[in-house]
Amino acid sequence: MPTPPSPVSHCVTGFDAASLRPWGCRLSGFCETLPGTVLRLEVAQPEVKLIIGLTAPYGLAAGRRQDRCQAFVVSRPLGPVIVEQSGVHSCIEVELPPWAAYRLFQGDAQVLASPWLDLRELWGPSVALLLEALDETPGWPGRLRRVEAFLAERLQRSQRDVPPMLRRSWEALRQSAGGIAIRHLSEQAGCSGRYFASRFKAHLGQGPKACARHIRFARAQQLLESAPQLELVQVALLCGYSDQSHFTREFQAFIGCAPAAYARAGWATIPGKPAWLLQA
């Protein structure tokens, strides 16, 4: 079993990115020192994430695909992604709903359909200039403001937008933890179920049923981490699964291990799960 990493040395949350509020974006900063190479198991959430590394590139692996990126976007893969880090590591993480990602990336369908994409390939030299500016900027507030301004300018310039009814549908799914009926959403949108599902997938990267499935799983994962006193059958019922076996099958599909193993594993000093779970 790998050596556990040392505690997080710095974490900045709750940054008020006022110019990004209309798009539901959240910015955070992280810094830690690792005693050696650490392999983390990263599980995609319903939101899309941008990771902007301030030090060495990350090693990324999912299935047979491998890459090294310093700045990248993580969409919502159905399986886990293994992230390799070592030494001093710091980054800025941006979390945004898929309807905002659609606007940010000018409706680029591959962004919402790929496990990750290198931001340099998507945005070209502007990413290298941003990384240089961040390297020259002292302190987390200044770095976070630079990223905020960079993203706000791209969002404001974009001519692509998700129809309001699809944005409302996604928000309703998120707020209901995936529990609202898709038929009800299509009726509220005033269109047939097939047309609604097609439009939803075209703009948000996955159909409404797949989205609801992802959101339910995220809720279950959060409960496993925040409420360890709950039995697995209780988590399953609270998250809308028909029974514990259904919950276990879904969990294994998304993460690659059983929920009980996931709940027991982890480092004592930092958030996250070790990638050796996939071999357990």
Give me the pLDDT at residue 32, please. 85
Residues 6+ apart with CB under 8 A from 168: 188
Domain count, the chain: 2
What residues contact 209, with CB distance under 8 A and at least 6 apart?
Answer: 182, 197
Say how far apart CA 106 and CA 119 lie, in whole Å: 13
pLDDT at 160: 94
Q: What is the mean pLDDT of residues 45-67?
A: 92
Tokens at 94, concatenated:
């941006």
Dihedral of CA 211/212/214/215: which sign? positive
Strand partners, 231: none
Per DSSP, the residues of 7-39 read PEEEEE-----GGGGGGT-EEEEEEEE-SS-EE
Residue 20 shares a structural domain with residue 127: yes
pLDDT band at 14 (very low <50, low <70, confident <90, very high): confident
Residue where a domain stops, chosen among 157, 175, 210: 157
Give yes or no: residues 168 and 274 share one domain.
Answer: yes
Predicted confidence band at 13 (pLDDT cuts at 50, 70, 90)? confident
Q: What are phi and psi of 140, to 5 degrees?
A: -65, -40
**Total-model pTM:** 0.89
Give the pLDDT score at 77: 67
Same domain, 148 and 24: yes
Residue for token pair 């340099």? 120
CB neighbour class for 203 (10 Å; exposed up to 12, middle 13-18, buried from 19): buried
Within this chain, do residues 34 and 152 fall inside the same structural domain, yes or no?
yes
Question: Do 63 and 184 fall within a single domain?
Answer: no
**Pair type for strands 273-274 and 48-53:** unpaired
In a domain, 3, yes or no: no
Angstrom distance (rounded) from CA 198 to CA 205 = 10
Model pLDDT for residues 147-206, shown as the tens digit of each residue: 999 999 999 999 999 999 999 999 999 999 999 999 999 999 999 999 999 999 999 999
Provide the residue type at 137 as one letter.
T
Beta-carbon-side half-sphere exposure of residue 71 (alpha carbons within 13 Å): 20
Residues 73 and 171 in one domain: no
Is pLDDT of 120 > 90?
yes
Query: DSSP labels for 149-200?
Result: HHHHHHHHH------HHHHHHHHHHHHTTT-S-HHHHHHHHTS-HHHHHHHH
Q: 34: closest CA among 264, 257, 274?
A: 274
Predicted confidence (pLDDT) at residue 268 exceeds the cutoff of 80: no
Residues 138 and 189 both lie in one domain: no
- Residue 250's pLDDT band, with cuts at 50, 70 and 90, is very high
Q: Which range among 7-11, 64-68, 234-238 shows the weakest confidence by mean pLDDT?
A: 7-11
Whole domain around residue 143: which residue ranges? 8-157
CATH of the domain at 39: 2.60.120.10
Quick check: 207 and 201 in contact, CB under 8 A?
Answer: yes
Please tell me whether residues 26 and 72 are part of one structural domain: yes
Q: Are residues 153 and 168 in the same domain?
A: no
> What integer best gives the mean pLDDT of the chain?
90
- For residue 74, which phi and psi values (nearest 5 degrees)? -110, 120
Question: Does 118 lie in the same domain as 102?
Answer: yes
Q: What is the pLDDT of residues 77-102, one digit of tens each?
A: 667 889 998 888 899 999 999 999 99
In the predicted model, is pLDDT for residue 7 greater than 60? no
- Does residue 1 form part of some domain? no
What is the average pLDDT across 53-72?
92
Across the range 226-255, mean pLDDT stands at 92
Rg (CA), the chain: 19
Is it the case that residue 5 has pLDDT exceeding 50?
no
Q: How confident is the model at residue 114 (pLDDT cuts 50, 70, 90)?
A: confident
Q: With bands split at pLDDT 50, 70 and 90, how would you rate the model's confidence at 270?
A: low
